[in-house]
Amino acid sequence: MTNKTKNIFAEIPDTLPEEIFEKIIEGKEFFVERIISDGHTSPPNFLYDQETNEFVMLMSGSAKISYDDGNSFSLSAGDYLIIPAHQKHRVEETDKTQKTIWLAIHYK
């Protein structure tokens, strides 16, 4: 465990060829990660199907998440969404003008 202060907006590269997924903390039945997107989307015809529930909050930027049942959610800074385990979903878009920073909590 670290006693060092960190900042969710620190150490962000200028260019991102791929999204960054960074685990901040993890426990027995959860983990918290920072995700940094820069116009990234899920690959065509790809759906996430996760074993855990996921709480996602946008700290900056914007994004659109779509479920396989046709529901979609537009998110901007401060918005959050709880994605139930095995809810198939994809990231349709993230902000192309600024970095989108997500805080995600995966839990059972």
| Residue range of the domain that includes 24 | 20-107
- Both structure tokens of 44: 């065509």
Say how many domains are in the chain: 1
| Residue 1 domain flag | no
Which percentage of the chain shows pLDDT scores above 70? 98
| Residue 27 domain flag | yes
pTM of the model: 0.93
Cα-based distances in Å from 99 to 4, 15, 16, 73, 80: 24, 10, 9, 18, 17
| Mean pLDDT on 65-76 | 98
pLDDT tens by residue, 35-69? 999 999 999 999 999 999 999 999 999 999 999 99
Amino acid at 86: H
Please tell me what DSSP assigns to residue 17.
Answer: S
